[in-house]
Amino acid sequence: MTFPASQIALLINGSIEGKSDTAVTSFGKIEEAKEGQLTFFANPKYEEFLYSTKASIVVINEAYELKQPVTATLIRVPDAYTAFATLLAKYQEIMQQQLTGIQQPSYIAKTAVHGENVFIGAFAYLGENVKIGNNSKIFPNAFIGDNVTIGDSSIIHPGVKIYHDCKVGNNVIIHAGTVIGSDGFGFAPQTDGSLKKVPQIGNVVIEDNVEIGANATIDRATIGSTLIKSGAKLDNLIQIAHNVEIGQSTVIAAQAGISGSTKVGNGVLIGGQAGLAGHLQVGDGSKINAQAGLGKSLKPGSSVTSSPAYDYGQAIRSQAVARNLPEMEKRIKELEMLVRQLLAEKIS
């Protein structure tokens, strides 16, 4: 497909510098782009490539002042990175709209229903009473268990497993290999030392505009729901335990783990490999650094690091002191020697 600069500028509310009929058919990185491709410039580290790129169109911040001529047609916008993301999303939407129909072999229970313009890939399984909304895509080898509902315009990538009774909202993206609704890790210790499994009869509810990376696991609740609220973004290889709640627009990086019944507020940032103990309350807007081990609740706006996690500012000051320990040790020894000399002189 071909897109002229005039059409692209309308999509992102940009102003054109150059030829409005310049057309592109694909995207490219600014340092590698070829003629007929569109790229963007937002990071000053790539400034040299702005003047040498072969791209036909460059999306650029409106405040940026050119230091030398460029050959590409420019589209100026307030935020080039956000505008480029908008274009990529639109392009992906157009491509996915072309993907419709039901491939065979696949299994769709007689009581399952789906809306218009859906795609169901080969070897997908849709159980009893499944409901799939309009324009949603279920890719090959996905398993959608009994009584699962999936809203409009959601994408379930290959190999995703969604257990029975779980609910997925609109515009949700779940990447390959992720498991939604597996049993929570609940076992009751017995007097003989054995462990009795606690049945997990709840579900998982994923609200609108959530994205979940590949090979993540979100456990169903013991009772009630494990809840991922609207706009949350979860990276690959994340473990969310039973009855956890993840707040709106919270971002969690890869390999983080959150233990049962912990409630994470809105707009929280959790770094990679962080671990959160169970039954905690993490306040809105908190920041948990990578590899932090959180064992206590956080007030809104907190920033913590390390394991066990403690205040980020204190941690930075402690690290600064730690770097000076060898010099401090030397000075302490010199002071001790001076004190001994003064005491000896006083005694004599």
Q: Has 175 been annotated as catalytic?
A: no
3-state helix/strand/coil string of 268-303:
CEECCCCEECCCCEECCCCEECCCCEECCCECCCCE
CA-to-CA dists, residue 243 to 140, 180, 260, 279, 285, angstroms: 29, 13, 6, 9, 21
DSSP label of 71: S
Q: Which H/E stretch holds residue 59? A: strand 57-61
Classified as helix, coil or strand, 142 is coil
Nearest one of 243, 298, 54 to 270, comparing CA atoms: 298
10 Å CB burial of residue 1 (0-12, 13-18, 19+) is exposed
Separation of alpha carbons 26 and 20, rounded Å: 17
Q: Considering 164, 175, 242, 279, which one is annotated as catalytic?
A: 242
In DSSP terms, 245 is beta-bridged to 227, 263
The span from the CA of 202 to the CA of 192, in Å, is 28
Distances (CA, A) of 63 to 56, 60, 67: 21, 9, 13
Name the residues annotated as catalytic: 242
